[in-house]
Amino acid sequence: MPPGTPARPGHAPATRPKVAEWLRVPRPAAAPGIWRLGHRDRPEEEPDLVPARQLFGGAFVAYLCGWLLWSLLWNRYLEGWWFFVDNWWLLPMLWLVPDNSWLPEHPDFELYVLVSYVYYGLVLGLLAIGFGRVGNWQEVWQRYGVPLWPLFVFLPGVWREMPRTVTYLTWFSNLYYVLLAATVVAVVGRAGTWPAVRRRRARAAGQVADAPPPPQDPAEWPELRSAGLAEAADRLAEAARAGTLGDVDYARIRRAWQGVHARPERLAAFAETVRRHGPAACAHPSGLRDLPVRTATHDLATGQVKIGTVVDDARNPYARRTTGVALEPALLGTSLLAVGPSGSGKSVRLVRPVVESLCLLALANRAAVVAVAAHGAAVATDGDFDLVVSVGRPESTHDLDLYGGAEDPDEAARILAEALVGDLAAGLPGGDSRRAATALAQLIGPYRSVHGHFPAVAELRELLGGAPAALAALRTALEQAGEASQLRELDARERQSARGDDIGVLLAERIAFLDRPAFASFFRSDGEGRTFSLRAIEHPLRVRVDLPERGHAEASRIIARLVLAQFTEAALTRSDRSLFACLVLDDATSTVTADSVRALQRLRSANAGVVLSLRTLEDVPEPLRGPLLGAVGCRMAFSGLAPWDGGRFAETWGTEWVQTRDVTNRQIISDEPLTKALHMMRRLVTGKAATAEAVTVREVERARWSASDLAHSVPAGHAVLSLTSVRGEHAPPLLVDLRT
């Protein structure tokens, strides 16, 4: 490889053999959640199919009529006295051959024989086409002929072995060959775009309007050429043809080009970067251009990841059946809630593809992702992330900021109070965590004013527990520093600690879960070590936070609430919201709080979202289950859902008007002797009395998915998914096969 040539991406996407071909696949605009790569629209309503009995009956009658007409013509029953002209249907052929050429001694007799056979075939073909349309033979072929095509191919060989003396087989074989020739002509015409040739000739004659110009080849980077960057476009187009330009490279450079549109002064720098680095231009800070391994199907041109296929089921809209289902930032920006028992596929078939897609978008400088899961969970490998924060493990290279990078004591106290007692806020005196945030602010504010940083876990536990030595030392430091306002805060805290219902006791008990020897080197606030803060989501980072689920279950829940609170605060206060920020919680048990539900609704306008995975809605406090389902825009119910959880989803998805048919059978009673005899004979033969059927059609309001259907009718490996985009577009609940 010549010096300076960028390295080939380590793993090619499964969506295309080469980027140049992948880019040329059409991606039409579609409804939310549809996999757009190569998508073709389906009819909104299911076509009214003719019943098989009626279809075959009409086709057979049309065949008999056509055969009868041909027989009458061939045997000359429609000539002479009927049309007053002999051989009237042969006149077009006779005009093409010399006079008297039908005589055997005529020198042009062979030409007459050839023209006559061609003419007979043409007339027979016209009859077959005409009566075939009348008898709807095309639908017969599409329904039953295509599966039986090998049998049709095999029949001529069988007929050749049969005696030539069987006249009716000869006629049937001739008819078969004519029909086969017509079928081949139709197939070849469709494959050879003969209708397009006809339209082209009609357009040349001025009969139809000119078609729109063909779209430009995206692999040639026409937008760069139109801006005068022909050299950069040639460099990238050559890399696409050579295979050194990956789909991540394409998405990343497209992202940089969009930034040039926003800030035109960057045009020269962009052109120079592409000229020097080619497909490696505008690289991610890590320098990586792809993930080590991909397990899902991605389309980075649209930012989609395919998670399944809509089942061909009557409960799904006809237009969505058999279409691919994909997630993208426009949908995840409304947040997603997935509920299903362990083993239903939440981690493998939802969380892993979503995290993988967000990591690819981060490499394309389009997103920032933070994935939170238990240590050892199969969310993604270490190579997919820029940094991995393993809380409680000595090999972790980074620490987690306990205060989320906040500088204001009140903001830091609010975030920490949400993590410590957010799950208990509904049962606290006062009804929420405001008292807890006030108590924390009365301690961490004075501490920061004299030490320059917030207290670590051990110091905070002593202050919340009312340790005399810790409080006395803090008071002395404040008096020496002359912090009168902070002294008043400390005095207020000491007065409140004397009350029997003081919130400080609960806070001290909760913070004790983090003050364990396993976490001694974590949650430092003195500036030592490498600390990760959620404020960094303004950059295209890929972060995974491993929770110490084994042995520290309560601490894991506190850390998960801490990360969620810090993420929502950081996402809402970002100065640059061009990057899509997403937090993925593989297990959101005891994580949802009243404040987090309110924050989820505000994330839509901040170009951010949260993916929550739950085993059951029972892991959410009862007053928050309804608001949580209303706050998220995307809801997903996996197989094995409990009936009470299914009832919540059914209530959220609401009802729809459907058409029902009520069939009533009543026995026919007749007084006439003949009718009685016929009814008696029918009863003796069939064992059933003669009945009359009455059909009543009406519209009723019915639940889209009932609690019983969600609990018992969703097969394994499937889920029911409803989607909402940030622009307000909706997709109804769909039964999705997550295995395809």
> In this structure, what are the phi and psi dihedrals at residue 601, rounded to the nearest 5 degrees?
-70, -25
Cβ neighbors of 385 (< 8 A, separation 6 or more) are 359, 371, 542, 543, 544
User: Residue 265 and residue 72: Cα distance in Å, rounded?
Assistant: 83
- Same domain as 374, residue 439: no
Q: Pick out the chain residues at pLDDT < 50.
A: 1-17, 80-86, 151-152, 154-155, 158-159, 161-162, 164-168, 188, 191-193, 196-197, 202, 204-212, 429-431
- Whether 389 is covered by a domain: the verdict is yes
CA atoms within 13 A on the CB side of 388: 19
User: Residue 251 and residue 279: Cα distance in Å, rounded?
Assistant: 11
Cβ neighbors of 273 (< 8 A, separation 6 or more) are 256, 281, 282
Residue finishing a domain among 635, 663, 695 = 635
User: Residue 663 and residue 457: Cα distance in Å, rounded?
Assistant: 72
- Same domain as 81, residue 14: no
Residue 209, burial from CB neighbour count under 10 angstroms (0-12, 13-18, 19+): exposed
Tell me how crowded residue 723 is: count the other CB atoms within 10 A of its CB: 27
Residue 5: its pLDDT value, please?
Answer: 37
Q: Does residue 609 contact residue 571 with C-beta atoms inside 8 Å?
A: no
Residue finishing a domain among 132, 147, 162 = 147
- Same domain as 453, residue 432: yes
- Whether 502 is covered by a domain: the verdict is yes
- Same domain as 384, residue 427: no
3-state secondary structure of 372: strand
> In this structure, what are the phi and psi dihedrals at residue 83, rounded to the nearest 5 degrees?
-110, 5
User: Which tokens belong to 706?
Assistant: 């009932």
- Same domain as 512, residue 548: no
User: Residue 611 and residue 347: Cα distance in Å, rounded?
Assistant: 11
pTM for the full predicted model? 0.79
- Same domain as 141, residue 60: yes
- Amino acid identity, residue 305? V
User: Residue 86 and residue 607: Cα distance in Å, rounded?
Assistant: 83
> In this structure, what are the phi and psi dihedrals at residue 659, rounded to the nearest 5 degrees?
-100, 125
DSSP assignment of 594-625, as one string? HHHHHHHHHGGGGTEEEEEEES-GGGS-HHHH
- Same domain as 554, residue 631: yes
- For the chain, the domain total comes to 4
What DSSP character marks residue 348? I
User: Which tokens belong to 122?
Assistant: 């043409």
Q: Which domain holds residue 621?
A: 335-398+538-635
- Whether 158 is covered by a domain: the verdict is no
- Same domain as 379, residue 422: no
- Same domain as 422, residue 371: no
Q: Find the CATH number of the domain harbouring 607.
A: 3.40.50.300
Tell me how crowded residue 302 is: count the other CB atoms within 10 A of its CB: 16
- Same domain as 415, residue 386: no
Residue 210: its pLDDT value, please?
Answer: 47
3-state secondary structure of 270: helix
User: Which tokens belong to 659?
Assistant: 């058409």
> In this structure, what are the phi and psi dihedrals at residue 251, rounded to the nearest 5 degrees?
-65, -35
- Whether 453 is covered by a domain: the verdict is yes
Tell me how crowded residue 373 is: count the other CB atoms within 10 A of its CB: 23
Residue 626: its pLDDT value, please?
Answer: 93
Cβ neighbors of 730 (< 8 A, separation 6 or more) are 32, 722, 723, 724
- Same domain as 515, residue 419: yes
- Whether 468 is covered by a domain: the verdict is yes
What DSSP character marks residue 482? T
Buried-exposed string 591-630: b where 16+ CB fall within 10 A, e elsewhere: bbbbbbbebbeebbebbbbbbbbbbebebbbeebbebbbe
DSSP assignment of 256-268, as one string? HHHHHHH-GGGHH
- Whether 652 is covered by a domain: the verdict is no
Q: Rounded to a whole number, what is the distance in angstroms from the first to the last CA of the chain?
A: 39
- Same domain as 477, residue 379: no
Residue range 672-697, pLDDT digits in tens: 887 778 778 777 767 777 787 788 88
User: Residue 689 and residue 678: Cα distance in Å, rounded?
Assistant: 11
Of 658, 371, 324, 736, the C-alpha closest to 534 is 371
- Whether 577 is covered by a domain: the verdict is yes
Residue 81: its pLDDT value, please?
Answer: 42
- Whether 427 is covered by a domain: the verdict is yes
